[in-house]
Structure 1
Amino acid sequence: MPELPEVETMVRGIRPYVLGRTLAGVRACPCDRRPISIEPSLSTIDRRIRGRTITDVRRRAKRVLLEFDEADIVAIEPRMTGLMLVSDPPSPEHLRVVWEFADSDNLPSLWFWDRRGLGTVRLYSPEEYRDALAPPALGPDALEITVEEFAEACARTARAIKPALLDQKLVAGVGNLYASEMLHVARIHPERSANRLNRRQIERLHQAMQDVLAEAIRYEGSTLGDGTYRNALNQDGSYQNAHRVYAKEGERCRTCQRGKVRRIVQTQRSTFFCPICQRGR
């Protein structure tokens, strides 16, 4: 489930513990579950970053980036159930990768945990990173995109706005949960064609994108009913308590107090909206 707010929370959670630390090595954890994707091999990654210092920890869309001196970058994509942890994991049998530090006074290890095994770990040179994760491979970040860039992105597609928001080449970082929330805040029907949004709607949706994502980051993300998402200290997020429409099918809309939240399926993903607040296509 981790989307931009959850990944940003992971970055902020692990940064104080790993920034400036020197790696003793990286290794796989014993795990008999579905293997995660690691490229190149973990032994190659270990050889290239062993003894190197972490110079930055940041986010690119829905990936955690560990940057090293000499500019190599390890990108961890949590996908559905991955977590970056500096504390005890939810379950030891789903630990996948451990980064061990040369000095263990503060924190001996950084962990990647993944229940379903859908996450990825990639080592990039600077050139490889630009080809794989810089524009146009991925669009502008959802927290950095300007109104003009967003308007141009919407104008390029006739798809419904909800699926368009999930296209990482148009805007990077928006996931299914927060797309429903920001469309509700902007009062836009999820089936309206992206290229038919007028200027006022574009501006409202752009502002809603900034506000919803920033609010979710302040609450350290959303921990849903399955309890999968946890922050870097293995604690729940709390933004699920502020959801307006997501997973609230049949409930009275907390915004207008008149409509009942509806659920539809778009490109095989659930979309939630209020038919009164978000009228018509």
Structure 2
Amino acid sequence: MPELPEVETMVRGIRPHVVGRTIRAVTACPNTCRPISVWPKLPKLQKRLIGNQFSAVRRLGKRVVLDVADGSSLVLEPRMTGLVVLTDPPDTEHLRLQWTFDDGQPYESLWFWDRRGLGTVQLFDSGQLEAHYCSSVLGPDALEMTLSQWTESCSRTQRAIKVVLLDQKVVAGIGNLYASEILHRAGIHPATESNTIGPRELKRMVQAVQEILLTAIEYEGSTLGDGTYRNALNQNGRYQNKHQVYKRDGQPCLVCRLGQIVRVVQAQRATFFCPLCQKAE
């Protein structure tokens, strides 16, 4: 579930508490769940990180990047149900890795928690991260992508705009939840062929991308009914209270008050929209 706002919230939450601290231990948490992918394997990861320091924390698309003082970068990819927390994870059963600082400062550990075991942890040597996530693998960040970049990307494909928004090679960071919210704000039907969207509609969509994502960051992301997503301090996000269409199928549109939110499936993902606010051309 974590998308750009949730991952950005994780980054902002842990940054003040891990940068500059020396890593005293790296531990695999005991559990019987599906294992996450960790590379290199734990002994080598321990050798590389213990005694080192995190020099910066940043976001790359939907990934948390912890830069290490030796020039390497540790990339935590939460995927569907992963969290990066400093305290009180949702449960101990699904804890995966623990980085212990043990220097007397608040929050002595950083934890990676993952209910479904789909997350990944990977350490890249200096220069490898940029090569691995080059432009052919990861598109521009959603908060940095310009109108001209959007225009060029949309003009090259007939795919439905909702599907394009989810393509991380086109734009990094947008997931299923926020794609539906963005298109509703922009008044664009999710099945609209991307190369048919006019300049005025495209400008509205680009503005909606910024407005929706930045507001969701301000509200520290969306915690849905399963309660999986929590911020770094084990607190709920609050943006779920602002959702206009996501998982509101069968309910009245909160904008036009006349339409009823519809759920359809696109590229094996649920899409939610208002047929009156987002009329098909």
TM > 0.5: yes
* Cα distance in 1, alignment partners of residues 43 and 279 from structure 2: 55
Q: Which residue of 2 aligns with 1:153?
A: 153
Letter matched to residue 275 of structure 1? P
1:139 and 2:129 matched: no
* Cα distance in 2, alignment partners of residues 4 and 205 from structure 1: 17
Kindly indicate whether the alpha-carbon contact (under 8 Å) linking 2:102 and 2:109 is maintained by their aligned counterparts in 1: no
- Equivalences for residues 33-112 of structure 1 within 5 A: 33-112=33-112
* Cα distance in 1, alignment partners of residues 83 and 157 from structure 2: 33
* Cα distance in 1, alignment partners of residues 212 and 62 from structure 2: 16
CA-based RMSD of the aligned residues comes to 1.0
Of the structure 1 ranges 39-48 and 61-70, higher mean CA displacement relative to structure 2 is found in: 39-48
Runs ≥4 residues deviating over 6 A: none
1:194 and 2:194 matched: yes
What's the offset of the Cα at 1:134?
Answer: 3.4
> Matched residue of 1:75: which SS?
strand
What's the offset of the Cα at 1:103?
Answer: 1.3
> Matched residue of 2:70: which SS?
helix
Q: Which residue of 2 aligns with 1:179?
A: 179
> Matched residue of 2:272: which SS?
strand
> Matched residue of 1:241: which SS?
helix
Q: How many residues align?
A: 281
Q: Which residue of 2 aligns with 1:121?
A: 121
* Cα distance in 1, alignment partners of residues 88 and 124 from structure 2: 28
Q: Which residue of 1 aligns with 2:130?
A: 130
For structure 2, the residue ranges without an aligned partner over 5 or more in a row are none
* Cα distance in 2, alignment partners of residues 175 and 51 from structure 1: 36
* Cα distance in 2, alignment partners of residues 194 and 68 from structure 1: 40
* Cα distance in 1, alignment partners of residues 117 and 93 from structure 2: 12
Shift in alpha-carbon separation, 1:161–1:85, aligned structure 2, 3 A: same
* Cα distance in 1, alignment partners of residues 140 and 43 from structure 2: 33
CA deviations 1:22-80 (Å, max 9, x no partner) are 11131210011000011121221221122111110010000000001121000101011
What's the offset of the Cα at 1:105?
Answer: 2.6
What's the offset of the Cα at 1:126?
Answer: 2.8
TM-score (norm 2): 0.98
What's the offset of the Cα at 1:102?
Answer: 4.7
Letter matched to residue 277 of structure 1? C
Letter matched to residue 276 of structure 2? I
Q: Which residue of 2 aligns with 1:235?
A: 235
* Cα distance in 2, alignment partners of residues 259 and 212 from structure 1: 21
Kindly indicate whether the alpha-carbon contact (under 8 Å) linking 1:230 and 1:237 is maintained by their aligned counterparts in 2: yes
Letter matched to residue 188 of structure 2? I
Letter matched to residue 252 of structure 1? P
Q: Which residue of 1 aligns with 2:222?
A: 222
Of the structure 1 ranges 240-249 and 38-47, higher mean CA displacement relative to structure 2 is found in: 38-47
* Cα distance in 2, alignment partners of residues 134 and 155 from structure 1: 22
> Matched residue of 1:208: which SS?
helix
Letter matched to residue 133 of structure 1? Y
Give aligned-pair identity as a percent. Answer: 56
TM-score (norm 1): 0.98
> Matched residue of 1:23: which SS?
coil
* Cα distance in 2, alignment partners of residues 150 and 71 from structure 1: 33
Q: Which residue of 2 aligns with 1:27?
A: 27
Kindly indicate whether the alpha-carbon contact (under 8 Å) linking 2:87 and 2:107 is maintained by their aligned counterparts in 1: no
* Cα distance in 2, alignment partners of residues 134 and 20 from structure 1: 28
* Cα distance in 1, alignment partners of residues 44 and 152 from structure 2: 41
What's the offset of the Cα at 1:196?
Answer: 1.2
